[in-house]
């Protein structure tokens, strides 16, 4: 015979408290697990070489020094690499927008012969990774004698198939009547794009531009294969070079350079993490 047991309220409460306590501790552990590597980078970058290898390690430098930063900027002339990175981010993003917006607009709002075919070409191109095209593209630029310029890092990167797709989806949701009434008011295509389409697709544009900026800033593979001289290399390649700057691996130097590379990303994330996360979640679910 089974008897219905009255649940003991006290035990239940204690159990609940214990489990929420454990959950909190575990969550704290997760936070540390994801924040600590960044903290360690920052901490190491202010240490002397000797202190960076000291056992037991110090959590925060006892002998706080900016030596690593001075070395990195003086010996490697990080400034010129930084300039290349900035030029590439600005040029690639600006040219991408110039090419993307008109294409997205006609794919969304126009009917023309060959549209479906061109759109499927776009979708196929979106799936082709750069790790398959770089050999031929490198040879192409070598033949054209353009390897001594920033073009190999700009031209192949400004047609954003995925961006065109996202923006088209957004443009398609904009009611036809709006455009029609603008046309009746004698608005030209340029005005329709800049006064109606773009303002209504602000958040999509922001997402695409954010991805392009971080993508260019962070890119390593493409500059690695498309450059033959330091003059045209961006920051990422310079940071890798820090490993061989002095005899033996001086980790404070590498971490100092690393922090210079990450700083803009950290600042942007501190101010806009909510928006960034929301747009990424939306993009992934779509």
Partner 1 sequence: MKKKVNILRKLFPYVMVIPTMILLAVFVFYPLVNMVYLSFFDYNLIKEKTFCGLDNYYRIFFIQTDFRDAFLNTLIYMAGTTFFLLFLGLVFALWLQRDSKFNAIAQRLMFFPNICAGLAISLIFQWLMDDEGLFNMVLGFFDIAPLRWLNDSTTSLLSVMIVAIWKGIGYYALILLSSVKSIPTELIEAADLDDAGKIRTFFKITLPMLSPQLFFLLITLTINSFKVFDSVRLMTGGGPGNSSDVLVYWIYRYSMEYNKYGLACAGGTVLLVILLILTVVYFRVIGKKVHYQ
Residues in 122-161 at the binding interface with partner 1, rule: CB under 8 A:
122, 125, 127-129, 131-140, 155-156, 158-159, 161
CB of 228 to partner 1, least distance (A): 10
The span of 3-11, 71-79, 143-151, 233-241 binding partner 1 (CB under 8 A) equals 233-241
CB of 17 to partner 1, least distance (A): 16
Answer yes or no whether residue 17 interacts with partner 1 by CB under 8 A. no
CA distances from 255 to 36, 82, 101, 243 (A): 14, 16, 39, 10
Question: Residue 157: which of 181, 133, 184 has the closest Cα?
Answer: 133
- Of the residues 21, 40, 64, 271, which one makes contact with partner 1 according to CB under 8 A: 40
DSSP code string of 227-255: -SSGGG--HHHHHHHGGGSSSS--HHHHH
CB of 77 to partner 1, least distance (A): 19
Answer yes or no whether residue 99 interacts with partner 1 by CB under 8 A. yes
- The token duo for 141 is 């630029």
**Interacting residues of 232 by C-beta distance below 8 A, sequence separation 6+:** 84, 148, 149, 150, 153
Give the burial string for 200-226 (b: 16+ CB within 10 Å, else e): bbeebbebbbbbbbbbbbebeebbebb
Residues in 44-63 at the binding interface with partner 1, rule: CB under 8 A:
44, 53, 55-57
**Interacting residues of 77 by C-beta distance below 8 A, sequence separation 6+:** none
| Closer by beta carbon to partner 1, 1 or else 56 | 56
Answer yes or no whether residue 34 interacts with partner 1 by CB under 8 A. yes
Answer yes or no whether residue 87 interacts with partner 1 by CB under 8 A. no
- The token duo for 109 is 């709002």
| Closer by beta carbon to partner 1, 70 or else 263 | 263
Question: Residue 134: which of 121, 148, 153 has the closest Cα?
Answer: 153
| Closer by beta carbon to partner 1, 70 or else 267 | 267
Question: Residue 81: which of 230, 262, 271, 280 has the closest Cα?
Answer: 230
- Of the residues 30, 50, 145, 186, which one makes contact with partner 1 according to CB under 8 A: 30
- Given CA atoms 182, 183, 187, 190 in this order, what sign does their dihedral have? positive
Residues in 167-196 at the binding interface with partner 1, rule: CB under 8 A:
189
Number of residues interacting with partner 1: please give it, by CB under 8 A: 79
The span of 10-18, 65-73, 176-184, 251-259 binding partner 1 (CB under 8 A) equals 251-259
The span of 6-14, 26-34, 66-74, 173-181 binding partner 1 (CB under 8 A) equals 26-34
């Amino acid at each position: 015979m089974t008897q219905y047991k009255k649940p003991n309220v006290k035990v239940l409460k204690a159990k609940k408290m214990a489990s929420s306590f454990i959950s909190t501790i575990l969550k704290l552990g997760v936070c540390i697990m994801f924040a600590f590597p960044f903290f360690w980078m920052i901490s190491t970058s202010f240490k002397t070489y000797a202190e960076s290898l000291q056992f037991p390690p110090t959590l925060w430098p006892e002998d706080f020094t900016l030596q690593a930063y001075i070395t990195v900027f003086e010996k490697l002339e990080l400034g010129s690499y930084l300039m290349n990175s900035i030029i590439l981010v600005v040029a690639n993003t600006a040219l991408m927008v110039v090419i993307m917006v008109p294409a997205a607009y006609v794919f969304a709002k126009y009917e023309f012969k060959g549209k479906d075919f061109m759109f499927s070409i776009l979708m196929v191109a979106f799936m082709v990774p750069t790790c398959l095209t770089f050999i031929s593209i490198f040879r192409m630029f070598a033949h054209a004698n353009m390897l001594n310029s920033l073009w190999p890092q700009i031209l192949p990167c400004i047609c954003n198939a995925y961006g065109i797709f996202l923006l088209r989806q957004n443009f398609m949701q904009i009611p036809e009547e709006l455009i029609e009434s603008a046309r009746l008011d004698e608005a030209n295509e340029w005005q329709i794009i800049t006064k109606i389409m773009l303002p209504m697709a602000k958040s999509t544009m922001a997402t695409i531009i954010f991805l392009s900026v971080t993508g260019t800033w962070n890119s390593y593979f493409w500059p690695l294969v498309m450059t033959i001289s330091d003059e045209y290399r961006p920051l990422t390649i310079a940071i890798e070079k820090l490993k061989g700057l002095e005899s033996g691996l001086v980790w404070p130097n590498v971490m100092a350079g690393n922090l210079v590379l990450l700083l803009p990303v950290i600042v942007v994330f501190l101010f806009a993490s909510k928006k960034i996360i929301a747009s990424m979640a939306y993009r992934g679910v779509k």
